[in-house]
Amino acid sequence: MKLVWSPETAAAAYIDTVKLCENHQESGVAELVSAMAAGWNARLIVETWSSGGVVATSIGLAVAARKTGGRHVCIVSDEQSRAEYLAATDELPEEVVVGDPEEALNGLPGVDFMVVDCRRSDFARTLRLAKLSDRGAVLVCKNASSRAAPAEVIRWRSVLDGGSRRLVRSVFLPVGKGLDIAHVSASGTTGIVGKATHSRWIKHVDRRSGEETVIRK
């Protein structure tokens, strides 16, 4: 089984998030990730959050989890961050896990949708540690333009670490401070339809939109 898109669920999550986040920072990012997570019917939504960060994205992901009947889990580094996060989100009915990403993600198999912050030095490591769903997954890096070299797209294939998963498609969107998004194939698939023959991968980046497409020849 693969992730299947539902435009109706995406629209419902988007509208609810707009209403809840009208007074929050990160407007635009929150609505987009909420619609994406709900539209792909994500059953396990995971994000990382740091002290001092904004919570609009978290609210949007919580909305998406309610629409899909799934779980929304936020990973924070310590108890102080946990308390700050819960106070900022009015203690939304969600799970907050305290600890190192490796330890936290070890107990979260089957991630369908994940959001990390590029301003954290360990964001790539966190993505590599995630135990993705057999249905495939969508990975989102927010604040992508804040990296030292903003023109450099994330090397998604290196993040996937040469495992059984393949990159279906990735795109950079100029929303908020930049979103780098990747759609990862279901377990055991290549992500690109084709015969099991010797082939090579070609990456094309649209200079205007920043969209990155990977094809196999």
pTM over 0.85: no
CA distance 109 to 96: 16
Is pLDDT at 34 greater than 50 in this prediction? Answer: yes
For the chain, give the percent of residues with pLDDT over 90. 51
Q: What is the pLDDT of residues 81-117, one digit of tens each?
A: 999 999 888 867 679 999 998 889 999 999 999 999 9
Strand extents, DSSP E, the chain: 44-48, 71-76, 95-98, 113-117, 137-142, 167-173, 179-184, 201-205, 211-216
- Which has the higher per-residue pLDDT, 164 or 194? 164
> Do 112 and 45 contact (CB within 8 A), yes or no?
yes
> Looking at residue 153, what DSSP letter applies?
P
Q: What percent of the chain has pLDDT over 70?
A: 77
- pLDDT number for residue 196: 41
Band (195; pLDDT cuts 50, 70, 90) = very low
Residue 17 has pLDDT above 80, yes or no: yes
